[in-house]
Amino acid sequence: MASRGPRRSMDWTTAWRAMLPVYAFALVLEAFYPLFALVPWVVFLIYAFKSMTGSRVAEDPWQGRGSPRVYLQSFVGLLAVHLGGFPLALLGVPGVLETALLFGFAAFVFAALFVKGSAPPRIARERSRLRLGVGLAIAYAVTLAAALYGVLPAAGPEGIGVLAVLVALGIGSAAAFADADRRASRSEPLVARRTAKR
């Protein structure tokens, strides 16, 4: 039996694209109940790390931009407090739920900032679409906060309307990032070139 060669790692563009539907799914589930989103967020992190790994072997990956690693690290820390607080709240630990919610709102924004910041070079040129993706994520976080703190209705027919807005904002954020990819693909093929071996 012939031995298989080393497994090829996922390239930068493919990993970045794979993050988008998982990111949208996680935000949709967050609107219903945060712990539902645990698995999608873990999958999102897997693709995020694959994207970072793929960028390291690309030629001139950030082209003068700062690495998005700080956004990813912030997201991981915020998400850990966000999701970890809910089991503690169920055990009756005071003040944990409020902290978990606040950290969650920030986590969603940092997730979007990471998606924007980790976009491969040609996609990164579609700045307006990437900014729209982040803007919709901020609108999602603000709307969710308003619903959870009673500024917007969270129950009854009005609550269903707010939930529909949250779902639309979450999907819209990912769709804006995907549109940046689509526009970049139309202008020129997306290839994360590898550096030549010396």
- 155-176 pLDDT, tens digit per residue, is 788 889 999 999 999 999 999 9
The structure's pTM equals 0.85
For CA atoms 176, 177, 178, 183, the dihedral sign is positive
Phi, psi (degrees; rounded to nearest 5) at 66: -75, 150
Domain residue limits, the chain: 12-59+67-187
Q: What is the pLDDT of residue 85?
A: 86
Look at 63 and 149; give whichever has higher pLDDT. 149
Say if CB 13 and CB 190 are below 8 A apart. Answer: yes
Tens-digit pLDDT profile for residues 100-147? 888 999 999 999 999 999 999 889 999 999 999 999 999 999 999 998
- Regarding predicted confidence, which is higher, 142 or 56? 142
Q: In this structure, what token pair is assigned to residue 128? A: 């307006």
**Short-list 54, 58, 67, CA closest to 19:** 54
Give CA–CA dist 87/104, Å, rounded.
14
